[in-house]
Amino acid sequence: MLAELSPQEVHDRMQAGTLRLIDIREPDEYRALSVAGAELMPLSTLGRYPLKDTGLPVVFTCRSGRRTRDNAALLASLVQGRAFMMRGGLDAWHRDGLPVDEDPAYLPLFRQIQMGAGVLILAGVLGSLLWPPLLWLAGLAGAGLLLAGITGFCGLGILLQRMPWNRRSMPCACGRKERDRRRT
């Protein structure tokens, strides 16, 4: 089990330069709200890239602390030195009024997919009133959603992920930019 530090302790140690904060949430969560100076290492990519060793103790965090707690043994095994978890995660950090980087305009990828599929279905149904074969567009969108649910492959998600508004690079705990990591 990882020892816990309060958000205020983490903040103070980060300000002093004696601690490294690693966010294990997914990139779209990180883009929407993150701690200034936190590095990204999504739980979904753990083990694919080595954790860059800086000699500083590491604190892992997520949104509420649950993902960190549930994966504490795995996270501790990634670190040579001391490792901690932040009590309450980013929710507690935000509640304590500590500084965050926030992009209120960013829409998580899942919501972009829902909106895109909705537009395709609505366009197919309404467009079919003028040109009946356009109803196939709604059927194809529905089939794409069904395929994504069954297989986990979402072509619309892959397309949206490559759009310019979703390509902002982020600090990565392995020393590379998150955007570069997707290309490999």
Helix, strand, coil percent values for the chain (each to nearest 5): 50, 15, 35
62 given a catalytic annotation: yes
> Which residue of the set 62, 154, 172, 174 is catalytic?
62
Residues in CB range of 60: below 8 A, 6 or more apart: 2, 22, 24, 68, 75, 83, 84, 85, 86
Report the distance separating Cα 109 and Cα 115, nearest Å: 10
Q: What is the set of active-site residues? A: 62
